Amino acid sequence: MPYNVALVVVGLLLVVFNIVPGTPMDPEVVLLVFLPIPIFQGALSADAASLRQAAKPILALAIPGVAVSLLATAAIAAWEIGLPFPVALLLGAVAYRNFKRHFTSSTALYAPRGASSIR
């Protein structure tokens, strides 16, 4: 069993049996401190040849995943905020692009050039 699976199972057991106090944790701490460690370790141990061989299944999961994320963001924005659906689709695309850029580099969120901010 991989060590990350063991870490998740042990963590769940500790929480379920109230061994660890239920203190809330900031999600940014998880995303910026704890999550990069196993991702970096996975990237170091990844084999480029096997990734090339698995390109079709990876793309078969990634492309629909991006589409579902985009449509879900647009649907929620259209329903909750009342945006027209084409505008909500644009919001979903920009939100996905900013989310991807924010968590794959150290740059801040941005808007396309020439776009004005909502104040």
pTM attached to this predicted model: 0.47
Cα separation values, 24 from 6, 12, 15, 21, Å: 22, 15, 12, 9
Query: What pLDDT is recorded for position 14?
Result: 87
Q: Evaluate if residue 117 carries a pLDDT over 60.
A: no
The per-residue pLDDT for 119 is 43
Query: If pLDDT is split at 50, 70 and 90, which confidence band does 100 have?
Result: low
Q: Which residue has the higher pLDDT, 50 or 107?
A: 50
- Supply 20's token pair: 């660890």
Residues 6+ apart with CB under 8 A from 51: 58
Whole-angstrom Cα distance, residue 111 to residue 97?
Answer: 10
Query: What are 44-90's pLDDT values in tens digits?
Result: 888 888 889 999 999 999 899 889 988 998 899 899 888 899 988 88
Contact (Cβ atoms closer than 8 angstroms) between residue 70 and residue 63: no
DSSP 52-97: HHTHHHHHHHHHHHHHHHHHHHHHHIIIII---HHHHHHHHHHHHH
Highest mean pLDDT among 36-45, 48-57, 98-107: 48-57
CA–CA dist 22, 118 (Å, integer): 38
